[in-house]
Chain A
Amino acid sequence: DGGITQSPKYLFRKEGQNVTLSCEQNLNHDAMYWYRQDPGQGLRLIYYSQIVNDFQKGDIAEGYSVSREKKESFPLTVTSAQKNPTAFYLCASTRDANTGELFFGEGSRLTVL
């Protein structure tokens, strides 16, 4: 079945460590996004990519990095520079970079110990 796969589903990290969250889609979508969700809050855009080998910062990019080497993959690295990394991370994609519904993965819950 087509969809978006995020891994790992749960992740624990010690302070000072970098961690990479995986996002893979087999929907043949051009655009991919990373959102962060904190308890009781809406989604905030971290990074997005409209095409392979190109990506732009969202509203809260500090402390995060991404790459888009393949159309199917858009991994997110949470670096030690991110001051409050504990959150629920959601990856999404859209067929068209200019419009259309977002398809979300099931999310990765990161906890910093």
Chain B
Amino acid sequence: GQQVMQIPQYQHVQEGEDFTTYCNSSTTLSNIQWYKQRPGGHPVFLIQLVKSGEVKKQKRLTFQFGEAKKNSSLHITATQTTDVGTYFCAGPKGGGNKLTFGTGTQLKVEL
């Protein structure tokens, strides 16, 4: 079945450093979504990418969808303590909007 893997599993950075998480699917995705989950909280939608090679930016966050639509990345420039949390990618599996979530990357930011 479809699998979505993310690397790294954990990342510790100093505040101000950049951070990148990578998402890889075993199958081609029609779209990919990214979510952020703060410690003790629930996932919150960040963005959806649909087009091959698409790049979208949200302030310090840059999202990219691969040309083959099987991989994606999230890059954070100059991390802040507010960026702490776990970042998940998710892609539709089968028909409808059933999302398969990646394993997540837990980001910790130290002062």
Contact = CB atoms under 8 A, between A and B. Distances in A.
B98 A102 contact: no
Interface residues of B, number: 26
B99 A98 contact: no
Given A42-B102, A45-B98, A48-B96, 4 more contacts: A43-B101, A96-B97, A104-B42, A104-B43
B27 interface: no
Interface of A: 31, 33, 35, 40-45, 48, 50, 58-59, 90, 94, 96-107
B98 A43 contact: no
Contact of B104 (A33, A41, A90, A101): A41
Interface of B: 1, 4, 9, 31, 33, 35, 41-45, 48, 88, 90, 92, 95-104, 106
23 contacts: A31-B97, A35-B101, A40-B9, A42-B4, A42-B102, A42-B103, A42-B104, A43-B90, A44-B101, A48-B96, A48-B98, A97-B96, A98-B96, A98-B97, A99-B31, A102-B90, A102-B99, A103-B45, A104-B42, A104-B43, A104-B44, A106-B41, A107-B42
